[in-house]
Chain A
Amino acid sequence: MTDLNKQMVEQYRNSFLKEVEANVEEGEWVKMCMQCGVCSGSCPLGPYWDHPPQELFMMIRAGKREEVLASSSMWMCTSCYNCIARCPRELPITHIMHGLAHYAKRLGLAPKNQPTMKFSQKFWDNLMVTGRVNELKLGLSLYFMNGLVEGIKTSLKMKNIGLGMLLTKRMNPMEMLGGHSVKDKSGFKAMIKKAQELEAARIAKFKTP
């Protein structure tokens, strides 16, 4: 159990809903769900979710903390926004799903080796270096995500596409060496720092009941 998780369990002992409201982005909307199921019916990936959004909301209200946070369901969201567009109660369901996923990750409860989570982490780390996504590095890091052997196999399979992109100047091999960055790199860092401060402040605000 991470320290943060331990602390949260203490703080919100019997009310997972309150914990979600305080810590999850747009979590204060969860109580407004009326269980119509339109979101679950609208989700193009619905069949692949262990618990569709409506069910997740019910589980949050029922206090099923571990089950919700350890679930892979909210990681399945592809941000198609069908659910948001259709929710009769106007819940920002997509945002809540990402908020839940993020919170689960922060607490260290997200399922290990969840591919979306791994990709998200790689994306984030990649972005933070220069303020731009280095596509070559990101692509290669994905190939080798599950080990050297699979990485080489995938690289060989993609060889011709890679060469074609080189020929048509769609890919610059020099990007492997650091790569180009945003114009104002320090400004970018400051911006991210500020955003993280705001987030921390928001959580701090909810902490005092």
Chain B
Amino acid sequence: MADEIKIGAYVCKGCGLGERLNTGQLETTATRDGKAKFAKSHDFLCSADGVAMIQKDIDSGETNHVVIAACSRRAKAEAFAFKNVTISRANLREGVIWVRPDTAEAKETTQDMADDYVRMACAESKFQKQPAPSGEQTLCKEILVVGGGISGMTAALEAAKAGYPATIIEKSGQLGGVMAQLHRRVPTKAPYAQPEDTSVESLIAEISANKKVTVMLNAKVAKTDGAPGRFSVDIAVESGSVQNKMFGAIVQASGMKSFDANILTEFSYGKTPNVITQLELEALAKAANGGPIKRKDGKEVKSVVFVQCAGQRSTKPGHLSYCSGFCCTASIKQAMYFKDANPNVDTVVMYTDLRTPGAGGEDFYRSGQNKGVIFTKGVVNSVAPNGNDLTVNFKDLILDEEISMPADLVVLATGQLPNSGPDPYAVPMEADKNDAEAVAASKAAHEVAVSVESILNLNYRQGTDLPHLKHGFTDSHFICFPYETRRTGIYSAGPVRRPMDSWQATIDATGAAMKAILEAENAGKGMAAHPRSGDLSFPAFRKEGCTQCKRCTVECPFGAINEDERGYPQFNESRCRRCGTCMGACPVRVISFENYSVDTVGSQIKGVDMPDEFSEKPRILVLACENDAYPALDMAAQNKLEYSAFARVVPVRCLGSVNTIWLTDALNSGYDGVVLMGCQKGDDYQCHFVKGSEIAGVRMSKIGDTLKTLNLEEARVATYEVAITDVDRVPKLINDMAETVAKVGMSPFKF
């Protein structure tokens, strides 16, 4: 392909564009201001005829940089998916005519708006390059599964069934994990009435019969190097030998740890052998094997009380603040152990809120009631030994009274803790170390102690293990893509991701195996994972400009960037999600993507025609996150909600990719206001790149200094958190800025 940039601009006249806008003028704008080689208009550009017209020009070499002035880039993407050219879209439909009234007095500003979007698209086109795979990629179909419990076994089997060889690394001497300690499991099939077999044995048999699954017992991950498609893993076996194997993707199914009930002294745990945890009861039930369940002292249990939420959903120190989600159904199941062996055993489940998640949860609860399990809404204050037996003192919440009852055995429904490795961000990284606030915040966020032993031993710039969200559970985008962790190609499944029961863990593991397969394939093609699936562009940097400041390696939300021995960034393309946070971070602006760079956006900002101070035509720059804010703007347009004709919207991959130079340039060149729209940040973040909007928030909090040096009002820059559903709100935010500008006056920086 020739190196010469030949911009071909195509203006669509369909969808009312032809009637509302002077398309002839738009063509002139494209060739005169946009420096397009030629401009053409078509009555119906996305029709087969219109597409064929463009394709013909591409085939004949007339153009290699296509500018389409029609609808939003989110519409008709399939029709305009031309190969071997760059494509830039001017959003005249959702961005202009649908948000402006069709009146004579609005006609001039509406045309101004359209002209600017054509200029911006042409300017962007000039700096765009076609993304191509780096050549770094390798296809490796091997899947590594860390952990041999029910999640790990399921993930390995599912991967193997799909044709991807899996290796299970289990640190203990046998498969099965916690599940192998259970007598029965909560039913997974209709009619959800009876506890069923744990399925551990059948899973183990299936695994040993499957040639594509390799099991390594008494083994640990000593080191994980590389990136998706080329993870180089050192596996250390207890005997001392270490072997190296290549993997395409990793599933971490390291499971759960039981809550330590020893701190529950009010329930006499540890003081008497007759107060036990659910897991300890499973051992007694296994020993009884369907017969009457006996206590440790050999006495047959005639009455048993289950204490729900023991050390959970509580603010007391050392307790878990969350609901583990599995214990209510587990108690129903265990009460059935007693009732099925002898219907005359008194079984009482003491709960405050009975939660039975899953399709069959309610049926199982009903089945328990049918068998005569008594459910009492009450809070247990204490359990006191009474000779060989126990007295349970509780407050009945329905009858509102303090009362006590005798019991042979008390079972505590204690919760789950994730078995995760150390959080890479538990200790703030170098760049934040001077910030006392960051240190305190980070300490507060990691109150629940988790194992300090690393599970994955990643050789990453940002720590050895998967980052946590809260309570040690691995971080994942809960709403949009729950399996994606903050380390591309490594998926967590089961109770290490969030508290769950065995059936949910099975489903979770299946999903994680599927994502692992997808990522192994993606890595082989050089394509991005969620949310920019299929994106071939990746960040590169200009080495001679780099100051080795390490901002990019520290701020990358996915730990994708390592440092070489001289401190230069190493991007590890297949670890990258293509959010551009590194690009936004770079103070010397040497990081760029082929089709998204400081220049592609910067040139759009500068491409806008800037009327003088006395024209009464201010300009407002809107940088909108392409994941939520931009679709919300499109939907507002579909609903024909109007907003100011002075706004110029530029979509960005993530607010994290916004380099402050864009703001400085915009304010310097005469923009009167800047609105930034990103996703919600914090613990319940909605940012598609996890930390992008948060990092942007930090950067923008410092924009005040820039404004001060320019002697501009702080109100001229506003940052908002916008959700995709904020359809009615987004036009208002733009109009608010237009009002602010009207109040504080035009920018004095127009030439």
Contacts and interface: CB of A to CB of B under 8 A. Distances in A.
A32 B370 contact: yes
A161 B602 CA distance: 95
Nearest to A21: B372
A154 B366 CA distance: 52
Contacts of A58: 376-377, 396, 398-399
A34 B375 CA distance: 8
B403 A62 contact: yes
A44 B737 CA distance: 55
A35 B378 CA distance: 12
Interface in B48-70: none
A82 interface: no
A35 B366 contact: no
A64 B405 CA distance: 13
Interface residues of B, number: 15
B370 A31 contact: yes
Given A35-B398, A55-B398, A55-B399, A62 B365 contact: no
B203 to A, nearest CB: 34
A77 B286 CA distance: 48
A8 interface: no
B374 interface: yes
B369 interface: yes
Interface in B370-420: 370, 372, 374-377, 396, 398-399, 403
Given A31-B369, A31-B372, A32-B366, A62 B377 contact: no
A59 B374 CA distance: 12
B110 to A, nearest CB: 56
Contacts of A32: 366, 369-370
Given A55-B398, A62-B396, A62-B399, A35 B377 contact: yes
Among the interface residues B365, B372, B375, B398, which one has the most CB atoms of the partner chain A within 10 A? B398
B399 A31 contact: no
B365 A34 contact: yes
Contacts of B398: 35, 54-55, 58
A61 B372 CA distance: 10
A89 B367 CA distance: 12
Nearest to B401: A62
Nearest to B368: A31
Contacts, number: 35
Contact of A31 (B346, B374, B403): B374
Contacts of A89: 366
Nearest to B354: A34
Contact of A61 (B370, B376, B403): B376
A17 interface: yes
B368 to A, nearest CB: 10
B353 to A, nearest CB: 11
B30 to A, nearest CB: 64
Interface string A160-199: 0000000000000000000000000000000000000000
Interface in A13-33: 15, 17, 31-32
Contacts of B396: 58, 62
A32 B363 CA distance: 11
A31 B365 CA distance: 11
Contacts of A55: 398-399
Contacts of A34: 354, 365, 369, 375
A72 B375 CA distance: 25
Contacts of B374: 17, 31, 61
B190 to A, nearest CB: 19
A17 B373 CA distance: 11
A60 B604 CA distance: 75
Interface string B335-372: 00000000000100000001000000000011001101
B370 A62 contact: no
A89 B372 CA distance: 16
A96 to B, nearest CB: 15
B399 A59 contact: yes
Among the interface residues A31, A55, A61, A64, which one has the most CB atoms of the partner chain B within 10 A? A31
Contacts of B369: 31-32, 34
Contacts of A64: 399
B350 to A, nearest CB: 12
A52 to B, nearest CB: 10
Nearest to A29: B369
Contacts of B370: 31-32
A31 B335 CA distance: 15
Contacts of B346: 15
Contacts of B399: 55, 58-59, 62, 64
A132 to B, nearest CB: 42
A62 B375 contact: no
B77 to A, nearest CB: 47
A169 to B, nearest CB: 54
A159 B32 CA distance: 106
A55 B398 CA distance: 7
A35 B398 CA distance: 8
B98 to A, nearest CB: 46
Interface in B222-257: none
A64 B400 CA distance: 14
A64 B396 CA distance: 13
Among the interface residues A17, A32, A58, A59, which one has the most CB atoms of the partner chain B within 10 A? A58
Contacts of A61: 374-376
B576 to A, nearest CB: 51
A179 B52 CA distance: 100
Nearest to B396: A62
Interface in B578-604: none
Contacts of B377: 35, 58
Interface in B432-479: none
Contacts of B354: 34
Interface string A26-55: 000001101100000000000000000011
A34 B332 CA distance: 14
A35 B376 CA distance: 9
B394 to A, nearest CB: 11
A31 B369 CA distance: 6
Contacts of B375: 34-35, 61
B215 to A, nearest CB: 44
B290 to A, nearest CB: 22
B410 to A, nearest CB: 18
Nearest to A59: B399
B282 to A, nearest CB: 26
A17 B374 CA distance: 10
A89 B375 CA distance: 15
Interface string B247-289: 0000000000000000000000000000000000000000000
A203 to B, nearest CB: 19
A62 B376 contact: yes
13 contacts: A17-B374, A31-B369, A31-B374, A34-B365, A34-B369, A35-B377, A54-B398, A55-B398, A55-B399, A58-B376, A61-B374, A62-B376, A64-B399
Given A15-B346, A59-B399, 18 more contacts: A17-B374, A31-B370, A31-B372, A31-B374, A32-B369, A32-B370, A34-B365, A34-B369, A34-B375, A35-B375, A55-B399, A58-B398, A61-B374, A62-B376, A62-B396, A62-B399, A62-B403, A89-B366
Nearest 6 pairs of A and B residues by beta carbon: A58-B398, A32-B369, A31-B369, A61-B374, A35-B377, A58-B399
